[in-house]
Chains A and B, each alone.
Chain A
Amino acid sequence: MKILVSVKRVIDYNVKVRVKPDQSAVDLTNVKMSMNPFCEIAVEEAIRLKEKGVASEVVVVSVGSKSCQETLRTAMALGADRAIQVEAEDGLDSLSVAKLIAKVAQEEAADLVIMGKQAIDSDNNQTGQMVAALLDYPQATFASEVVIENGEAQVTREIDGGLQTLAITLPAVVTTDLRLNEPRFASLPNIMKAKKKPLDVKTPADLGVEVGSNVSIVSVTPPPQRAGGIKVGSVAELVDKLKNEAKVVS
């Protein structure tokens, strides 16, 4: 079984986000970038399936400028076998990215596509579902457990209020939630080995996909700041404030 995993290079989750003064976008200059946390979980899950003997090959794909090759190398250091960079401007819209990944999944004849449920920059939570729709594949989003048997994926999903289990026929798309696994760290020897693993570069034209979006950014602004609060001296004062000032406790 072949697994395709998509990864996105995003601003590191520990970095404080700043909006550019011209309000056109978030400022990404000289900011630490990392693999999107949900993509890390997707890579980990694919590698575990390979280690269990369920998968035979793990291919990792990223859509973006040359710098995303670094993220692809990280995925290979973690255990992915080879990588594909689809060369495109960073920040392409979800539908365009979905079309590109769907095409790669088709060309690779991937049996399973594992993707993060959302990227922590644009927070869209839609690319995986779109890939599934474009390929007319079944999907299981927000996965917290994946079991592959008899050409099916039994996936436990995190839904509002609990868990739901679906059985979907392969080929299919799974998107990861936090509880699916705890990603490993890459060892130094594996980081060195990853440098020699194959990395192909393709363009949207190679894939026969036209990219573009009808959505434009009007502005990106900082969120309203919270007015500074006060320190209370005791639990009694706190309770009094909550009851009589904030009126959130009766």
Chain B
Amino acid sequence: MKTDIILSGVGGQGILSIAATIAIAALDNELYIKQSEVHGMSQRGGAVQSHLRISNKPIASDLIPLGESDLIISVEPMEGLRYIPYLSSAGWLVTNTKPFINIDNYPDKNELMSTITSFKNHIALDADKISRELQSPRSSNIVMLGAASPFIKIPYESFEEGIKKIFGRKGEEVVRLNIDALKAGREFAEKAIHNDAG
């Protein structure tokens, strides 16, 4: 059993809190983990990525080889496409549709969406909108994690446990909001997969 995940976004969007939640959930299941992050210069509004590998066997490389990632989780629609060469033929692209525009030559939104939907295995959702509707605008990351959770070979409850551990010191209310966000993302993905299958 292994799940190789690329997380992507723009510096400051907080992809590392998604990685941390998955890592805690993986540890709870006594799995091996390697998670490579980007620190330093590129964090300043630039493209950032993290390689997260979980497995029931020891993991060799800290970086995922091209074409072997099972999943791309992107908190920004263009950034997920940047790492497409890493995705395996059966892999899933799970992406937020809310663009982060801090460059002049940002692509046309319709063209961007049609590129995303041209991949058969994709889940595209406006996590910012969903988190706002849940009165928890800061939880869009966790909505994304929820949407990606069906493709990570870890029981759903472990993600809830992970959230409790990470947000616990911020109080029960924050934990509840994030668990709701996780659930909303999960439900969106399950519906999308179901519609696709139907």
Are A and B a genuine interacting pair, yes or no? no
Interface set of A (CB-CB < 8 Å, partner B): none
